[in-house]
């Protein structure tokens, strides 16, 4: 029997240098898409998928992120006394139960795989999810929930997957495909950031994973990979060398790369257009823009 996935790791230790100078004082994960911080989208998606324990792997300078998840009793009292019940309700949707969040620090930036391995002791002997908050996915059924449902059938290790153009493959982990069955892909190899022209396919790993604790043990067996970093892709690929299953899941939904400025802006426009109170005004503004052809 496959166990329920109730724990998720959120690697949030990155410096966010692509968003300097903003990230000098604001962690990237607190930057807002419309009016919700990036991290809130990740938390909401995790909750929808049944996650109960939230593990943040942070670094120096991320205390604003911890503060964001604190209760705000003064603010709640002020909203209550001024009768702003809608805002009060909204604020309460972001409250986290005491004990549901754990923070631990990655002391050195040794890579995504290393960040995930830092949480090994908190994971114990259960399957767990990893969510990269930079990858924001708009979907009718949240992406991680789609994967949890698929994982209940497949077991093994599962990564979210999406077709990208051949020029983009070198920015991602890329899957070598053994066979395909609807959205589920059986994987026979994985390469992190393949050199241009060498990718085994155009199917890229996107930042949602469901992994077994065995993957954490693989960190003892792998060495530094792409970019001189300890890569999560390599630890997952090691499952294959030990004869265990790895699957890609081609989710339904629109993914935005909020680790890049262009992706962040696209997500901002898309999420704003999805909001009743903003749609008409923003759409009218966009329509009247007389953009020069490039
Ligand atoms: C990370 C992973 C990579 C994955 C990507 C998805 O890379 O290492 O395998 O394809 O996230 O966003 P990063 O974007 O942190 O360089």
| 149-185: pLDDT as tens digits | 999 999 999 999 999 999 999 999 999 999 999 999 9
pLDDT attached to residue 1:
53
Domain-located, residue 294: no
Q: Is residue 260 part of a domain?
A: yes
293 assigned to some structural domain: no
Residue 273 backbone phi and psi in degrees, to 5: -65, -20
Q: Give the count of domains, the chain.
A: 1
How deeply is 188 buried, as exposed, middle or buried, from its count of CB atoms within 10 A (0-12, 13-18, 19+)?
A: middle
Any domain includes 1: no
Taking the C-alpha atoms of residue 266 and residue 283, their distance in angstroms, rounded to an integer, is: 14
Q: How many CB atoms lie within 10 A of CB 287?
A: 8
Residue 132 CB–ligand 1 contact under 6 Å: yes
Task: Return d(Cα 88, Cα 79) in angstroms, integer.
Answer: 6
Q: Which residue in the block uniquely carries the two structure tokens 């994971």?
A: 123
Domain annotation covers residue 259: yes
Test site for ligand 1: of 173, 193, 199, 208, most ligand atoms within 8 A of the Cβ? 173
pTM of the model: 0.94
Q: Are 248 and 201 in contact (CB under 8 A)?
A: no
In a domain, 2, yes or no: no
Say if residues 50 and 149 touch (Cβ distance below 8 Å): no
User: Which token pair is 158?
Assistant: 């599962």
Q: Check which CATH number belongs to the domain holding 35 and give it.
A: 3.90.550.10
Poorest-pLDDT segment among 190-194, 210-214, 221-225: 221-225
Mapped onto helix, strand or coil, the DSSP state of residue 130 is: strand
Pocket lining: 164 vs ligand 1, CB cutoff 6 Å: no
Residue 72 lies in a domain: yes
Mean pLDDT (whole number) for 51-74? 89
How many angstroms separate the CA atoms of 211 and 247, rounded? 10
Pairwise CA distance, residues 134 & 15, whole Å: 12
- Please state, in angstroms and rounded to a whole number, the distance separating the CA atoms of residues 221 and 27: 32
pLDDT at residue 94, rounded to an integer: 83
Q: Given a cut of 60, is residue 282 above it in pLDDT?
A: yes
Q: Tell me: the pLDDT tens digits for 245-281?
A: 999 999 999 999 999 999 999 999 999 999 999 999 9
Q: Map tokens 């807002």 to a residue.
A: 32
**Structural domain of 46:** 7-288
* DSSP assigned state of 214: H
- pLDDT grade, residue 98 (50/70/90)? confident
Cβ of 112 less than 6 Å from ligand 1: yes
In a domain, 42, yes or no: yes
């Amino acid at each position: 029997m496959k166990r329920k996935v109730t724990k998720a790791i959120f690697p949030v230790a990155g410096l966010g240098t692509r968003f300097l100078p903003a990230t000098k004082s604001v962690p990237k994960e607190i930057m807002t898409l419309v009016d919700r911080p990036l991290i809130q989208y990740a938390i909401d998606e995790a909750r929808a998928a049944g996650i109960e324990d939230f593990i943040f792997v942070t670094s120096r300078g991320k205390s604003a992120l911890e503060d964001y998840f604190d209760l705000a009793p003064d603010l709640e009292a002020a909203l209550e006394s001024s009768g702003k019940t809608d805002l009060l309700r909204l604020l309460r949707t972001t409250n986290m139960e005491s004990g549901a969040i754990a923070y631990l620090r990655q002391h050195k930036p040794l890579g995504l795989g290393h960040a995930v391995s830092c949480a090994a002791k908190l994971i114990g002997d259960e399957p767990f999810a990893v969510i990269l908050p930079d990858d924001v996915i708009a979907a009718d059924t949240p992406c991680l929930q789609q994967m949890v449902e698929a994982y209940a059938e497949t077991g093994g290790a599962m990564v979210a997957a999406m077709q990208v153009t051949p020029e983009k493959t070198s920015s991602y982990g890329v899957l070598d495909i053994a066979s395909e069955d609807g959205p589920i892909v059986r994987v026979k190899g994985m390469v992190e950031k393949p050199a241009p022209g060498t990718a085994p396919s155009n199917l890229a790993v996107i930042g949602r994973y469901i992994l077994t604790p065995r993957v954490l043990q693989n960190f003892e067996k792998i060495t530094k990979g792409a970019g001189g970093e300890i890569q999560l892709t390599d630890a997952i690929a090691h499952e294959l060398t030990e004869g265990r299953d790895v699957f890609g899941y081609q989710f339904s939904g629109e993914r935005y790369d909020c680790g890049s400025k262009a992706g962040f802006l696209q997500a901002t426009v898309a999420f704003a257009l999805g909001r009743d109170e903003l749609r008409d005004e923003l759409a009218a503004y966009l329509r009247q823009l007389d953009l020069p052809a490039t």
